[in-house]
Amino acid sequence: MMETAIMPVRLTSPEATQGNAELLRMANVFAKKAMRLPTSYEYKIETPVRTSPESYCAGCIDAALEAELKKWPDEERAQFSTSMSAGAEYDGRAHCYKCGLLLDCRLSEYGGETELRYFSSIRFTRLRPPSELEMYHLWKMLESIAYHLDTAKVSLALRVGRNALAALAWDER
């Protein structure tokens, strides 16, 4: 069974503005709609000298570790381990190095801004509603903007989210 890492998140903070609260409500809507999208937490191989730069899904980490162990002498193999990076922040999408599966991660402030620029250039309509993958990225973008409390970007993010929700409303009629 494939591990699914997508879970609706309720971020709250005392300084959250009304706009941020609306962003988080929208983020939860997109999170629920993207639930069927297969994802995994990110796993890394810890070697005696470094942490691997490659990221793996739950289904590929054991084979990747086995392949890495073959490169090392028997006496050093006990020093290897794997680690799960739940909640890691990235500037963009993260995918499994071996199979390409989408890895669940939070977007950094820069990652949220990048997604916002991308989605602000798209006009969703009833004929072109957001795909499941786009809903996943809308969720992560809205969550990032609200989490980093970037009030300068809140109004644009609200406009993008409202446009996508309106297109979904047409699609669900």
In the predicted model, is pLDDT for residue 77 greater than 60? Answer: yes
What average pLDDT does this structure show over 73-99? 86
What whole-number distance in Å separates Cα of residue 125 and Cα of residue 147? 28
Task: Report the pLDDT value the prediction gives residue 8, as an integer from 0 to 100.
Answer: 45
Domain ranges in the chain are: 18-37+106-171, 40-95
Distance between start and end Cα atoms, the chain: 33
Task: Report the pLDDT value the prediction gives residue 17, as an integer from 0 to 100.
Answer: 57
pTM over 0.95: no
Q: How many other CB atoms are there within 10 angstroms of residue 78's CB atom?
A: 9
Spatial neighbors of 26 by CB under 8 A, at least 6 apart, are: 138, 142, 158, 161, 162, 165
